[in-house]
Chains A and B, each alone.
Chain A
């Protein structure tokens, strides 16, 4: 979907992504974020979590990939904001956790298009106030 053609109301998703412990290890390696709450249940619990959670920045990046896949181009991304509202728990099993991404063009002018992004995990909204700005 070319950014030139985008109009308010245009939607993408829902796209379901499964995150497993393997996803988190790959993200830790690629990003340099080795925070143990993303790979050690023991250390996550010591900080009051129920267990290992996904990197917030993984969720932010993974959501953006759904948007840029839809657009067919990541070089048009000019701005992105998210609030990390709820953690994404990732158990040590083969099933992983499903995160569902969707979104809609919420504003557009001649130069810039704003896309509101939703990310949910079960009943939880895991990203809040998430907006991507792309250049036409």
Chain B
């Protein structure tokens, strides 16, 4: 049974805690050309879009949900939003919790809006993320 508008509101368990390391911060800063964030501060501050590393861990539950019949290879990432309450920093232990916010299907294309909340130890929300994914259904599952 493929994804439908009725799946809006479904949420998945939080991912396992991910401990943010100085090394991961440095590697990511280098990869995105960020000269301001990184390991020179103490604690090291992550580049803002490092948040996607955490959000992507939550995406696994979505793509692994057998009810939805979603495939990453048939998915285009259409847009992305982040809101940071504070920078992610070295030593944070972060979990990511995904919720399906909206599903619209036209023909063979599902437009899926997902929200991910990234929380630190103690339940402090550090970042919220929202993505629109465009997914192509296989022809066996027309709307």
Chain A residues at the B interface, C-beta cutoff of 8 Å: 17, 23, 26-27, 29-33, 35, 47, 56-58, 60-62, 64-66, 68-69, 71-75, 77-84, 129
Main secondary structure of the interface of B (DSSP, over half): mixed
Instruction: List, in ascending order, chain A residues with CB within 8 A of B77's CB.
Output: 56-57, 84
The 7 closest A-B pairs by CB, nearest first: A61-B32, A30-B31, A61-B49, A74-B37, A30-B28, A65-B34, A81-B81
Could you say which residues of chain B place their CB within 8 Å of the CB of A35? 72
**Cβ-defined partner of B31 (8 Å) among A29, A66, A77:** A29
- Residue in B52, B72, B79 whose CB lies within 8 Å of A81: B79
CA–CA, A79 and B87, complex, Å: 11
Name B's A-contacting residues (CB within 8 A). Answer: 24, 27-28, 30-37, 45, 47-49, 52-53, 56-57, 72-73, 76-84, 86-87
A119 CB to closest chain B CB, in angstroms? 13
Query: Which residues of B sit under 8 angstroms from A66, Cβ to Cβ?
Result: 33
Alpha-carbon distance A132/B79, docked complex (angstroms): 14
Compute how far the CA of A58 lies from the CA of B31 in the bound complex, rounded to whole angstroms.
Answer: 8
User: Closest Cβ of chain A: how far from B38's Cβ, in Å?
Assistant: 9
Closest to A33 in B: B56
Residue of A nearest to B48 (CB): A77
B80 touches A79 (CB 8 A): no
Q: Which residue of A lies closest to B41 (CB)?
A: A75
Among A47, A69, A79, A80, the most chain B Cβ lie within 10 Å of the Cβ of A80
In the bound complex, do residue A72 and residue B49 qualify as a contact, i.e. CB atoms below 8 Å apart?
no
Min Cβ gap A44→B in Å is 11
Apart from A60-B80, A74-B37, list 5 A-B contacts with CB within 8 A. A17-B33, A23-B31, A30-B30, A69-B34, A84-B78
Judge whether A74 and B33 touch: CB under 8 Å: no
CA of A29 to CA of B80, assembled, Å: 21
Structural contact, A26 and B79, CB atoms closer than 8 A: no
Q: Answer whether A79 and B28 are a contact pair too, CB < 8 Å, given A62-B33, A65-B35.
A: no
Flag if A32 contacts B32 (CB, 8 Å): no
In the complex, which residue of chain A has the Cβ closest to the Cβ of B81?
Answer: A81
Q: What CA separation (Å) do A19 and B77 show in the bound complex?
A: 20
Report the separation of the CA atoms of residues A16 and B131 in the bound assembly, to the nearest whole angstrom. Answer: 27
A58 touches B32 (CB 8 A): yes
B47:A79 contact, CB within 8 angstroms:
no
Chain B residue nearest to A19 (CB atoms) is B33
CA distance A78 to B73 in the complex (A): 31
Q: Is the CB of B31 within 8 A of A68?
A: no
CA–CA, A47 and B36, complex, Å? 37
Q: Could you tell me the distance in whole angstroms from the C-beta of A2 to the nearest C-beta in chain B? A: 13
Contact B84 A77 (CB under 8 A): yes
